[in-house]
Amino acid sequence: MQAYPGLYPVAPPQSAGPEPLMTSALAPPQVLTHAGFDALLAELKRSGHRLLGPIVRDDVVVYDDIESTADLPRGWTDVQDGGHYRLQRRGDDALFGYAVSAQSWKPFLHPPGQRLWSARMRGDAVQIQPEPPPSERMAFVGARACELHAIALMDRALLGTGPGDPYYRARRAQVFIIAVNCSVAGGTCFCDSMHAGPQVTAGFDLALTELSDQSPPVFLVHSGTTAGSAVLAAVPSAPANAAQIAAEQTILAHTRASMGRKISSTNLHDLLLGNLQHPSWTEVGERCLACGNCTMVCPTCMCTSVADVSDLSGERISRSRRWDSCYTSEFSYLHGGSVRHSTAARYRQWLTHKLATWHDQYGSSGCVGCGRCITWCPVGIDLTEQVRAIAAPPAG
Amino acid sequence: MRTVTRKSRLAVWKFASCDGCQLTLLDCEDDLLALAATVEIAYFPEAGPMNSGHYDVSLVEGSISTPAALEHIRAIRRRSTHLVAIGACATAGGIQALRNFADAAEFAAAVYPQPEYLRTLATSTPIAEHVPVDFELRGCPIDKQALLEVLAALQAGRQPVLPHHSVCIECKARSSACVMVSRGSACLGPVTQAGCGALCPAYGRGCYGCYGPQEAPNPAALSARLGALGVGAQTMRRLYRTFTAEAAAFRAESERHGA
Ligand code: SF4
Ligand code: SF4
Ligand code: SF4
Ligand code: SF4
């Protein structure tokens, strides 16, 4: 990879998660019935976790609070394409038979708004009240391989080697993760190209594979941490047989073969950075709405801006940060104006950061191939097409 | 940090409009006392008798649609340190700007028995077309928290912290399902300025654009998609010509879809 004359220091790739997480091959997998899975969720709840998992709301699969498996999107799957999402019946009782939810776990680890401190003036004295980091324990139920990779990327950026972000750290440190191997790829998925799925390999406490065509339907369960093993040991399960273990690989092979999109991930860094004046940037800039949806749904877009507000009396002030996006003009506003004034420049910033300069900054790609930016772009702009347009020899 | 040394004088003015925006001020319930402690409401026809003199802040509701209004807004500008245009009428001509696309005299003849007594302009236009405006607070109606933020900012001598980007960013921040992607409904959110908290999509409806164009609107690209979703020329024209028809980007786009 050629060195990009950028401004970023090269951080050595490292796991910055709160607890080292093991890979799946350590303990023999167990088998869990739907009733056993419910008992497992109840056990997590009992131990003080807020259960978060997929539900259907307004015709879309989203992550929200759940009570039990009764809340999960039983029997639903999704049809996804550029700017298009519809739910469809599967004809079975699969609980995780959809591909990828509308939003990732990002809002729970790195919420859209976060107060940092507030202050109060009393006479000439200023009292500063720091905002304490939250202490909630959350359990993520149904995290996909691409999402675990995205969380690892956020860990690297927001925890890093320095003090990191105390709010992210506090939320992240207490998360219990139940991952799911994808049994179906969505129309915009390309995790296989990004080496970020569909099989979960690290970063989970428990990992499930849903064997929905068995009767009764069961889950194959791997423990990734001692915390995971302990919760699993507290509920009834049985050792998996050879056929069940083999079924997992068959399912994953099918998922790999059904990726809706693909991208050539060999040296995207040099390809994109060597073509900053390619005419296709202008062309995509004409179609792009600068609406920011792609950055909002991307599980690795974590930029924020910080603002101070005062109340009417001028006696109370608070500082908050909120999600921001490289598509807004304020984001790149320096003295006198925005340095990325055209939409084409903003799109180029987003894509080259995600696929190229992220390597310089963090030692890996910033894209995990979840496809959300394609599905949830109102006009269906597709980064895999953009990469192809740039890779194509110039016309004429 | 500046402390408040004297109450600032606030006036609320009304031109062609429905009163909804100025009533937002009275709707500030819990904050009215704090407001009264820092601001002297010196002129407010909705709330009491009139006063005279110079104002630190003039909130101006409504569009300019008569020759008398044209004179009046200039006088208000002269009497105001800060002039804040509030609402879709004052910032983009309002619904009444639909007359700009038709023959106002014909409308008058259809509605009034003796239209010759009317003194009206052929157009309904935003305040900023006639006098310099210090801040435009968008929306139909405006949001009361945004109004309080503008007043607090003016009081402190800082910039109001209010967004100029798309509604979509607020829509995603509240985890609403995108009605365009998940239902194929027409939504002006991508070309409209945020500030409402993405109210309409949260109730399953596309945005009607009542906050007017966002900072970098690309309605032509949105229309191309809406066309593919089955929106015809007439509907397209009406979409861009509802609350903020006179906003330049929406006006130009509506005209691309016929007169
Ligand atoms: S860039 Fe797109 S496909 Fe890649 S991680 Fe972000 S949302 Fe997913
Ligand atoms: S690429 Fe799509 S989602 Fe992203 S800013 Fe442009 S139009 Fe919006
Ligand atoms: S519903 Fe409308 S405002 Fe919300 S994300 Fe979709 S296009 Fe944007
Ligand atoms: S969503 Fe659009 S129409 Fe609805 S309140 Fe917001 S800006 Fe107005």
The 10s digit of each residue's pLDDT in B123-133 is 999 999 999 99
Ligand closest to CA B140:
4
Q: In this structure, which ligand is nearest to the CA of B171?
A: 3
* Centre of ligand 3 from the C-alpha of residue B187, in Å: 6
The total number of residues written for chain A in this structure? 396
Residue B132 Cα distances to A52, A299, B22, B63, B128, angstroms: 51, 43, 20, 14, 6
Average pLDDT over residues A12-21: 38
Residue B184 sits at the vertex; the CA angle it makes with B239 and A280, to the nearest 5 degrees, is 85
Nearest residue on chain B to A61, alpha-carbon basis: B177
For residue A384, the SS3 value is helix
* Distance from residue B256's CA to the centre of ligand 2 (Å): 23
User: Under CATH, to which class is B8-156 assigned?
Assistant: alpha beta
Contacts of B151 in chain A (CB under 8 A): 312
Residue A15 clears pLDDT 80, i.e. is over it = no
Q: Which ligand is nearest the CA of A377, by number?
A: 2
B215 and A328 in contact by Cβ < 8 A? yes
Nearest to A343 among B155, B176, B216 (CB): B216
Q: Which residues face A50 on adjacent strands? A: A138
Mean pLDDT, residues A152-166 taken together: 91
Residue A240: name the closest of A20, A76, A27, A46 by CA.
A27
Taking contacts as CB-CB distances below 8 angstroms, the residues of chain B near A57 are: 177
Query: What's the DSSP call for residue A332?
Result: G
Asked if residues A141 and A52 have their Cβ atoms less than 8 Å apart, the reply is: yes
pLDDT at B47: 53
ipTM of the complex: 0.93
Q: Is the pLDDT of residue A373 over 90?
A: yes
Residue A72 has pLDDT above 80, yes or no: yes
Q: What is the DSSP string of A312-329?
A: TTS-EEEEEEEE--TTST
Give the confidence band of A229 by pLDDT, cuts at 50, 70, 90. very high
Instruction: Round to whole Å and give the CA distance between B41 and B11.
Output: 6
Closest chain A C-alpha to B180 CA, distance in angstroms: 6
- A12 close to B (CB below 8 A): no
Count other Cβ atoms within 10 Å, centred on residue A322: 17
Sorted by sequence, the CB contacts under 8 Å of residue A20 that are 6+ apart come out as none
Q: What is the pLDDT along chain B (259 residues), one digit of tens a residue?
A: 444 467 889 999 999 999 999 889 888 888 888 888 888 888 776 555 555 689 999 999 999 999 999 999 999 999 999 999 999 999 999 999 999 999 988 888 888 989 888 888 999 999 999 999 999 999 999 999 999 999 999 999 999 999 999 999 999 999 999 999 999 999 999 999 999 999 999 999 999 999 999 999 999 999 999 999 999 999 999 999 999 999 999 999 999 998 7
How far B252 CA lies from chain A's nearest CA (Å)? 16
Supply the residue whose CA is at minimum distance from atom 3 of ligand 4.
B208
pLDDT in tens, A184-228: 999 999 999 999 999 999 999 999 999 988 888 999 999 999 999
Which ligand is nearest to the Cα of residue B189, counting in written order?
3
Q: What spacing in Å lies between the alpha carbon of A262 and ligand 2's midpoint?
A: 19
Cβ atoms of A60 and A79 within 8 Å: the answer is: no
**pLDDT at site A394:** 62
Inter-chain residue contact A84 with B215, CB threshold 8 Å: no
| pLDDT value, residue B5 | 60
Chain B partners of A107 at a C-beta cutoff of 8 Å? 175
On the CB side of A259, CA atoms within 13 Å amount to: 23
3-state secondary structure of A132: coil
Averaged confidence pLDDT in chain A: 91
Quote the pLDDT of residue B108: 87
Closest CA to A382 of A280, A310, A308, A305: A280
Strand partners, A337: A334
The alpha carbon of A300 and the centre of ligand 2 are apart by a number of angstroms equal to 16
Tokens 């407010």: give the residue: B44
- Spatial neighbors of A263 by CB under 8 A, at least 6 apart, are A190, A193, A194, A369, A383, A384, A387
Chain B closest CA to A323's CA: distance in Å? 8
Which among A60, A310, A325 has the least Cβ separation from residue B156? A310
Residue among A9, A6, A29, A17 at smallest CA distance from A232: A29
CB spacing of A307 vs B161 below 8 angstroms: yes
Using most ligand atoms within 8 A of CB, pick from A100, A259, A298 the residue to mutate for ligand 1.
A298
Tens of pLDDT, residue by residue over B97-118, are 999 999 988 888 888 989 888 8
Give, in degrees to the nearest 5, the angle at Cα A304 between A299 and A305: 165
Which regions of chain B carry the CATH code 3.40.50.700? 8-156
**List of long-range contacts for A129-134, beta carbons under 8 Å, 24+ apart:** A133/A166, A133/A167, A133/A169, A133/A170, A133/A171, A134/A167, A134/A170, A134/A171
Q: How far apart, in whole angstroms, are the C-alpha atoms of residue A336 and residue A332? A: 11
Of A85, A289, A297, the CB nearest to B222: A289
Considering only residues B192 and A161, tell me which one the structure prediction assigns the higher pLDDT.
B192
| Boundaries of every domain in chain A | 30-257, 268-391
**Rounded to 5 degrees, what are φ and ψ at A198?**
-85, -5
- pLDDT value of position B163: 97
The runs of H, that is alpha helices, within B19-143 are: 20-26, 32-38, 67-78, 87-92, 104-111
Q: Name the nearest CA neighbour of A10 among A354, A357, A384, A391.
A: A357
Burial of B92-127, coded b for 16+ CB within 10 Å and e otherwise, reads bbbbbbbbbeeebeeebeeeeeeeeeeebbebbbbb
Distance CA B247, CA B98 (A): 11
Q: How many CB pairs below 8 Å do chains A and B form together?
A: 145
Residues 137-196 of B with CB under 8 A from A: 148-149, 151-153, 155-156, 158, 161, 164-166, 168-169, 172-178, 180-183, 187, 189-191
* Contacts with B168 from chain A: Cβ below 8 Å: 291-293, 296, 378
Terminal CA-to-CA distance of chain A, rounded, Å? 29
Establish if B102 touches chain A: CB-CB under 8 angstroms. no
Inter-chain CB proximity A291 and B148 less than 8 Å: no
CA gyration radius, chain B: 19
Token pair 């949001």 is found at B143
d(CA A115, CA A130): 9
* A5, amino acid identity: P
Per residue in A329-354, pLDDT (tens digit) is: 988 888 888 888 899 999 999 999 99
Q: Retrieve residue B43's tokens.
A: 């002129």
Percent of chain A with pLDDT over 70: 92
